Structure 1
Amino acid sequence: MVRAFLYFIATMIVLVIIGLFALNYWSDKATEIAFVPNTKFVEQEALAENAYADPDMWYSRPGIGTNDPARYQPAIAETQNPLPRSEDERTLVEQASEAGSRRVTADDEQGAPPFAVFFVHPTSYIPTNLDRDIQWNAKLGNKEAEDRATLFLRGLASPFNRAAEIWAPKYRQATVGAFITDKPEAEQAIDAAYRDVEQSFDYFLESVDKDRPIILAGHSQGSLHLLRLLRERIKGRPVENRIAAVYAVGWPISIDHDLPVLPLPACERANEAGCILSWVSFADDGDPTQLLSRYRASPGFDGEPRGNGAILCVNPITGFANSAAPADDNKGTLVPSEDLTSGELVAGAVGARCDEQGILRIGDPPEMGSAVLPGRNYHVYDIPLFWRNLQDDVVTRVREWTAANS
């Protein structure tokens, strides 16, 4: 387990590149030369109709057992305990889970209503033009990309590990260069990746209990594909009523031009089900200009420029939109040790508040490692910063969905 965490933290450093280019849309000529393929887009052959019946097409799914990366459970820092909340602070999160910062026990897991998670991993295919075979989409079986994706899932999908089922598909993801260019091939690559995700989602729906609530979750490129699934595969269909919550983390969502097109509203409170959570994390003195500039000029899901309106911010500590919480209310941040040989959940490490732009500000954050991006952008740590609160938030929303649909 220690070695697994070491690999996870070391690999998270690679996400610096992903965060710089995929989230921030940096279009500097040098980076474009380095990461944007200079080859023509090659249309991918459609996967076999039953492709996702093969267990090897999944990083996580029922039956994988102890090797399932999404089932990773970090240790608890025994010396770190959440401080008592004031009455006002307690009111802020009174409807959040009362599980506290203790380790998850068998009783906890039995207390969670059975639910299924569909998780789409972020970009793990990051070749450069120095490589001999840079393509617009990763090939299935690309060992480097798939090994990296497995490690990402260990840290990013593991907060959802109280689910009865976690499904995380392999897909022919768009290369990181597709997110830093306006070339038409980039959109073709993203479309191609989405088609695999959609096909895997169809198999997921066929495989899970038809009465079981569903959690959709992802990060970065994965969140982008989830948002398209909502629009094209879920909206107006019976499955829409089964979605307990959507965690589209690390991808900005325009309140004015994206949300109105989506079938579910933003989550406004901690005990709400059937809604969407999203946030992008910056230190208080962080500069989100690079993130917001090109994003605001890009078309929203309604086809109009996103403009200067705020992006969606649901505080992962409180579970409330546009809210604030002190560090004392953070039940566990996944923090690596100095020598990177282990990691622990540390309570009270960082607070969070949504600013007027919809940026999640995390104050003066702890030392998390070398993957903090320019502008003190904590994109890489969007989920680890709030690991334990997120774990509890998922169960709270599933319980609310279950109560409303029983």
Structure 2
Amino acid sequence: MKTRRSARGLLLAALLLMSILLTGCVARQAENKEAPTDYAVAANWLAMPDTPDKPVDVFYLYPTAWHKESAEEPNICTVDNATLRETAPEMLRQQASVFEPVANVYAPYYRQADAAYCLGLSHDEEYALLNGVPKTDVFAAFDYYLEHENNGRPFILAGHSQGSNMLLYLLDEYMEKNPEVYARMVAAYVIGYSVTGDYLAQNPHLRFAEAADDTGVIISYNTEAPGVTADNPVLLPGAKVINPISWTRDETLAPAEQSLGSASREDPSVKSLPSADARIDKVRGVLICDNQDTDALAPGNAVFPEGVYHGYDYAFYYYNLRENAGQRIEAYLARR
């Protein structure tokens, strides 16, 4: 009798666990199968020029601009979330302004995942989450941009953090299925997230940058102070890196004297930070900056450990990125 009760208890426990898992799966499926945001509505664009006057565009995806304020909130925000609408313009100003002198900037609002929740998932779980609603919005926005705004112009893809993660879906799936679109891509600045050797091996149509003026390539790096050993949630094994000062991929230090200047995050037009140096660490797969104030700029928080300069990936190399975008555009147009 004791054996039967035990077996019955195990069966009930298994059924309860299955019910919980199925409920979670149904919730996740519902969360991931919503209709895309309507990008014919002007209010759903963070940036869209009235009269594009440059020969090249930038399609920009902001990093995480929203976070859950309570555990009861969904893991993905609505496109009209007040915090998202308040913070995303700041990200646009801090990062996409890099490209404004050389390209027309287009940036959609897109629904995104809570960073703390998302970065706490396994890589497969994170992929499944972002492969739903966020990707639906990003693909719909890019389709709308190509059909109604681009007019056949070459374009740059640019993002940071979660925005760069979403660019990997565009580069992987969209560009493989639409090689005629990919042929118009000047470059993709996938900054603040990892582009790994495995990802490139699985996508042989893609290439990582090797120099300052190659085109159709991916540019990526994640910035840290020297000596960081703690887990960096945007750093994946086998991450590829290019030095944004020297535009080489070896481990030679590019000293601050070679930099064009670092920008203030509060006002990117102001060079209030010391010019950052840059050195690649191939073992860890990061870009090392050795001359900034770690205590002031990267003391650590609930998501990123001390010494991770995630919020300064653009600011440290702002003016070098701007010059480089111009270089790649010039090279693309010359080869075209």
Fold-level similarity (TM above 0.5)? yes
1:352 aligns with 278
2:35 corresponds in structure 1 to: 46
Alpha-carbon offset, residue 393 of structure 1:
0.4
Change (3 A) 1:116 1:136: same
Q: How far apart, CA to CA, are the structure 1 residues paired with 2:327 and 2:41?
A: 33
d(CA) in 2 for partners of 1:184, 1:267? 26
List aligned pairs for 1:279-294, cutoff 5 A.
Answer: 279-285=221-227, 287-291=228-232
- Please say if residues 250 and 278 of structure 1, whose CA atoms lie closer than 8 Å, have aligned partners that are also in contact: yes
Q: Does 1:398 align with 2:326?
A: no
Q: 1:146 aligns with which of 85, 104, 129?
A: 85
Judged with a 3 Å threshold, the aligned counterparts in structure 2 of structure 1 residues 57 and 288 are, in CA distance, closer, same or farther, namely: farther
| TM-superposition CA deviations, 1:39-90 (whole Å, max 9, x none) | 9434353036xx212111111111299xxxxxxxxxxxxxxxxxxxxxxxxx
Matched-pair contact (CA < 8 Å) for 1:178–1:187: no
**2:67 is the counterpart of 1:126:** yes
Alpha-carbon offset, residue 212 of structure 1: 1.7
d(CA) in 2 for partners of 1:214 and 1:203?
14
Residue in 2 that maps onto 1:313: 241
Counterpart position of 2:15? none
Could you say which structure has the larger radius of gyration?
2
| Paired position in structure 2 for 1:23 | none
Deviation at 1:324, TM superposition (A): 3.2
How far off is 1:292 after superposition?
7.3
Aligned to 2:168: 227
Q: Which blocks of at least 5 consecutive residues in structure 2 are unaligned?
A: 1-23
In structure 1, C-alpha distance between the alignment counterparts of 2:104 and 2:234, rounded to whole Å: 39
For the residues of structure 2 that align with 1:64 and 1:367, how far apart are their CA atoms?
Answer: 42
Q: What is the deviation of 1:372?
A: 4.6
CA contact (8 A) 1:333 1:347 kept: yes
Instruction: Report if aligned partners of 1:345, 1:388 keep a CA contact under 8 Å in 2.
Output: no
Aligned partner (choices 129, 146, 151) of residue 189 of structure 1: 129
Partner of 1:170: 109
Q: TM-score, normalised by structure 1?
A: 0.67
User: How far is 1:294 from its partner?
Assistant: 8.3
Residue 383 of structure 1, aligned match among 314, 321, 333? 314
Conserved? CA contact 1:136–1:185, under 8 Å: no
Look up the match of 1:58: 45
For residues 368 and 327 of structure 1, do their structure 2 counterparts lie closer, same or farther at Cα, with a shift above 3 Å needed? farther
Tell me the equivalent position of 1:79: none
Which residue does the alignment assign to 1:213? 154
SS at match of 1:325: coil
Instruction: Please report how far the alpha carbon of residue 234 of structure 1 lies from its aligned counterpart in structure 2 after TM superposition.
Output: 0.9
Deviation, 1:341, is 8.8
- TM alignment of 1:354-373, pairs within 5 A: 354-357=280-283, 358-366=285-293, 369-373=296-300
Q: Are the equivalent residues in 1 in contact too, given 2:63–2:160 (CA < 8 A)?
A: yes
CA contact (8 A) 1:123 1:175 kept: yes
In the TM superposition, residue 166 of structure 1 has moved relative to its aligned partner by 0.7
**Maintained 8 Å contact 1:282/1:362:** yes
- SS of 2:139 mapped into structure 1: helix
Structure 1 residues 150 and 371: CA distance shift in structure 2, 3 A: farther
1:330 paired residue among 245, 249, 259: 259
Rate the CA distance shift 1:327–1:163 in 2: closer, same or farther, 3 A: same
Q: For the structure 1 residues 128 and 116, does the alpha-carbon distance in structure 2 shift closer, same or farther, using more than 3 Å as the test?
A: same
Q: For residues 384 and 261 of structure 1, what CA distance do their matches in structure 2 show?
A: 31
Give the Cα separation in 2 of the matches to 1:273 and 1:189: 31
Give distance in 1, aligned partners of 2:183 and 2:148: 17
> What does the per-residue CA deviation read over 1:337-365, in whole Å, with 9 as the maximum and x for residues that have no partner?
xxx79972258621101112221011121
Question: Residues 66-122 of structure 1, C-alpha deviation per residue, up to 9 Å, x if partnerless?
Answer: xxxxxxxxxxxxxxxxxxxxxxxxxxxxxxxxxxxxxxxxxxxx9xx6210001111
User: Tell me, which stretches of 5 or more residues in structure 1 are unaligned?
Assistant: 1-36, 66-109, 297-309
Partner of 1:277: 219
Larger RCO, structure (CA 8 Å, separation 6 or more): 1
Q: Which residue of 2 aligns with 1:260?
A: 201
Aligned letter for 2:323? D
- Number of residue pairs aligned between Structure 1 and Structure 2: 300
* One-letter amino acid matched to 1:352: A
Kept in 2: contact 1:117–1:165 (CA 8 A): yes
1:63-82 alignment runs, 5 A limit: 63=50
Q: 1:173 to 1:320 in 2, by over 3 A?
A: same
RMSD, aligned α-carbons: 2.9
Work out the CA distance in 1 between the residues paired with 2:123 and 2:267. Answer: 42
1:350/1:366 contact within 8 Å kept: no
Contact 2:225 2:288 in 1 (8 A): yes
- The farther-off stretch of 143-152 and 244-253 is 143-152
Q: Deviations over 1:171-192 (max 9, x none)?
A: 1111221221249875543121
Residue identity in the other structure for 2:289: I
**Is 1:119–1:166's contact at 8 Å kept on the other side of the alignment?**
yes
Which range moves more in the overlay, 140-149 or 187-196? 187-196
Question: Within 2, Cα distance between the matches of 1:330 and 1:197?
Answer: 33
